[in-house]
Amino acid sequence: MDDDLAGLVKEDTREKMVKAIDHVRADMSNVRTGRASSALLEPLTVDYYGTPTPLRQLAGFSVPDAMLLVITPYDKGSLGAIEKAIIGSDLGINPTNDGNVIRLAFPPLTEERRKEMVKVVRHKAEEGRVAVRNLRRAGRHELDALHKDGSLSTDELERVEKELEKITHDQVAAIDQMLSQKERELLQV
């Protein structure tokens, strides 16, 4: 019985940590690296006939070269709304509309801007690490509560806490790996 409850707590904590990692990955993908990427437009919503609609549902994306992103709307009538949403976003890029497609030309990042982006990415990684550690702490509190009820033996508590610590370490290592990869992308000229 005690192994089942401890296993449930451990698995629940691991799943929450994986979701936290996914959130960090999504946050990092939205940081501009100087290359055109459709991931930058993922969070964008367009006012499509009065309904906020995700841009990816209204258009296809292509990247003909590293500094150009082409948005091809499925409905030509949505061109103006898509353009307005891009202008209103915090991308800082002016779209070019030729009546059929919208082109986004990404200017190369300056060295100063790259260093600012590295700081942003490091901050996002640290937030992810803190989230993972907080989830570990919450899992430990649940395990302690099971131990106090008598549902979990002291030996079992220590074993599961060690497993929880290993899971935490693995998740933090995954965040560090994402961070180093993103820093390389940002600092690559």
Say how far apart CA 94 and CA 185 lie, in whole Å: 23
CATH topology of domain 2-30+110-187: Topoisomerase I; Chain A, domain 4 (1.10.132)
Q: Is the pTM of this model over 0.75?
A: no
Q: List, for residues 107-163, the tens digit of each pLDDT value.
A: 777 788 788 888 889 999 999 999 999 999 999 999 999 999 888 888 988 999 999
* CATH architecture, domain defined by 38-105: 2-Layer Sandwich (3.30)
CA distances (Å), 66 to each of 62, 73, 91, 132, 151, in order? 11, 21, 16, 34, 57
Task: Kindly list the domain boundaries of the chain, sorted by start residue.
Answer: 2-30+110-187, 38-105
For the ranges 2-6, 97-101, 160-164, 165-169, the lowest mean pLDDT is seen at: 2-6
The CA distance from 136 to 26, in Å, is 21
